[in-house]
Structure 1
């Protein structure tokens, strides 16, 4: 049904987009927020009955070429409704049951608003509106006749460039760099890329209002929002409105109309800003490119890259100092009368991950509130199953929009993004580890799995970095490639992964520390979880005193730790479907592993990756991994791991062996080489 609504509504209209967003959010939330199922189903029915009326309202506005300002309240209420519905998911947990009655009242109040809206629209779009339409049409026709008879007039600027927010911090340096690219570099298209909520639009606004930019482009600066539901005709119409020029009605198409406008306001330099362009709207940029118009620049702001159209300028996140200043402004902590301790402010800013939108929303929500409330909110955010995203629906919607978009096109790519939350915060993720996971979990070959890394980078949901410049990718081994991710995007990945009940999630992501270990172990002990990917991260105080979990469906197990001694969990022996095991020590020195013999029970294991661990002599462990195809050792202590191995033959099907930066490694013993010579296809040794 959501798709039909989207198809029937006029593309690009703000009203249609707001209505569609609410409708889609309800469809998703009904399945996840059972505590509010009755209220959400009522809202769903009301929206379906409103669909034809909303469609007619939009068509009427478009048909008469009227401004949408008279329906601003409708758009605002739809957005409020979307935030209300989205919050239902975070309140479904039994731990937040005390908040449900208040939220239910808000949902019912919004339900009544929809009833009133239906009555109003029914009257407005009834018999009386036909007479109004006829009268306005005749006025429009008379005006057009007068304009056609009048001589051509000069195009005047109506000030279409929006002003940046009153308080902006941390953009002076990127503004200078961006300005240099616009003023001095060749090429007609430049893409300004950043994570959602990080200030792309604000930087573009500052650029357009900069004195040097105005000095070059004068009044020929145009700024238009494209958004997800882009409509070429509507965008061109808005540009004509900005220049106070009558939109041509000769039917020659939007591209020709735009070309006519650009030549009208020329021949001087022209700057066109296309704000918030989504990946599926690439054609909009292409339609706006004209080689025969000199000194014509297009600045695109986007979460995505468009490498085929032009270079990318990446806007980085605020540093800590600027993040503190921005938060203090919105929380109104500039005066000396504030009794909020600095350390409390710093903790909140840290939770906001230096994202301007998060700093703004959280700052406003805490503004003027006593420090007891600050501590209470911070305590909620700090719980193992909580996040700032659980409490700020607007921030959540902003972040997950791009996830929803590419998830509709490629569900596996969305799952790959969510898998990134399985690794510790602020740590580089080895590309080869991700490839191992995705190859087995999603039944892809390694080339396709590797391509997902770069697709995520293109969507600005991850960054791929190379640690050595002399790396040769021709051998298809990416040992020098690592993936990093913005902290807020990691929060999003974890947040989206935990929408289902814990025992039914696709991913079980556990982050254990000294404070929560005992409580979490009591909750997890003797329970069965159906996750396909399990990630367990522990701190340096972890004693390897494991609880007993049942993980019958797990195909991937990721163990992250910081201890010098680490025991593999006993529940490993019951993980009969496990195909990928990744063990990473984030401490300074290689860790000693115990219970190593448990690996012998993993009969379906295909890939193992060890990092910073001591590998015991395999001949003494008596393990035999019948189906192991790939073994990767990174910065491990190898010692005599491969000695006297010929008789035991622990890896009869080993096809690939990677030994990277293992300092004590000298050579593979001859007996090991004899044992694998008929099966090993790839050997990589890096020092």
Structure 2
């Protein structure tokens, strides 16, 4: 039965008008979701402008389908009306609610078959806002224990949707468990699902029944040494901390001893092994009963054991996977001919990653876009003849950013960071704000992160669910990227001659400096972004490099001692400096005074490095706006800060100290930073006191102290921070009381204090917190605040469950 009933038509028109009125009313009373509401309103007005003309496109629909659509629109009205009731601080609910709004708009576009080119950007945001719904699934990857991880608890989780690997799982399991075989390599080009198959194996009930908790999963990057692998096994799996080996032979011997103590039936998974590391696997083979090694590699490692060649998806599975991405609501075609879908799937040659990325890129696109894309891939050559062809085919997903040049540049910049390492989103924001003249608060930068994530060009991993707008959501996320996409970024960045590139990405193995660098004349290069990655054996022997226009310098290091390159003295335009160690232990930085020669430096980040008192010289940088110390060995490096040598960092507005485990005291000299607006000292478990002069930071707006578990009290001078809008003392377990002066914080709007289990009472002065809007706490603490609700009429007490993401990060830090 088709839609010919006038009553149904009238009902359809009525519910659409009601929905439009609801959107208009919400736009008048709330600023939340304004972009999505405006897009929804434009869609509704597009429908309303020629309702009966558009109705001709749907008159042949079954009557029950139209009735279901009317019901869905009525439900959509409820979703719209809830916009004003979603709390700003609740990132989880905002993600879920925004996803519902986007789905509603896409359902309208689909039902009326509207060809709106701008819907692509809205469509591309779906996965990001669905991130909130998947947070608990991510949590299943983390099983906590005191002091680290044990056994299979650190095995990554399996993706939500896995298609076409069940048969391969049974085959790999059968080959691995053969009595005459100790090592099995799953080999295939990048993007074929090797890592996913390995994860499935680790979570298989039969495998867990055999190996129990003795399943150890290690990702092996291109430059990983035997010592690094053994150190990871000791630190993350075998409950043995702070083991350092002088030689590979010593590491090998100690691992064999430890594995024999663990007993029989052990499964070691080595993920993404490169051909250069084949010899390492030989060193990890020990004559232990029931000890098995599973290797995934894009290479054929024929000398170490059996090889299982992971085949591509068959036509049926490939089409199923592709349609799940291209048509997410029901996996069926919407206005796209079946033969066109089949041809597109055929071009992907069964590569899961290609099917995923390309399917997502075509979602909601016009027929012209589908046909032009197919034409590009069908001009004589298959795009998946080899892994390099796959890289070229994936370039189409980047080419779609043609009209978003900054987003494209942001994607290419991701190649500047090490393989298989998480990237702090805040580090990317710091760099992009300066390189592309974005807003100081980073909101536009966040949009680029979301855009790239929605196109499957990166993945965003949240660490806390209670991040607020005042803090900036991106500061609580990490970015990960598939190896293949990272290689794509590097490939696209390296096509032009070095003298013409915007960014230069250099990898140094040992002391093997690239020939072009050694032979470089005094002719300077004009790059804006320079990334230098070195391995454990690099001796800091630098050649001169003339790059006076560099604005961002990223140094990725692994060696125990690392001297900063002397040529940075000539980088007068440098705005961003990011120094990060990817080794097991912090790298000791040398030649720190060189930083003082960078007059235009605005943002500086140290991660997992060991600092010395010579860092004092950098405190004279006049233009530095943000300074970050992440997982650093600070020790007494800051004790030498001289208050008398003013002005000390006269323009610093943001100071971040996170997971610096040996920070016991914050130097009083830092209280002289007159322009400081954001101070974050978090996950510093040895810190037991703050300087008494904290209140002299008169411009401070955000103070974050969460997870400083030994911090016993806040200084009484805190009452002088009249501009403070957010205070976070979550998981400060040792705080038993708040100072009476807390009531003098007349600008305080958000107070986060969940997990303050030692807090026994609140001072009566909290009744004077006239601007306080949100207290975010656990149920126990909420009872303390309930006595003051009548005195604080605007107060909302938000009870949250334990933040398991934050707990995880705290465990990792310890």
What TM-score do you get using the length of structure 2 for normalisation?
0.41
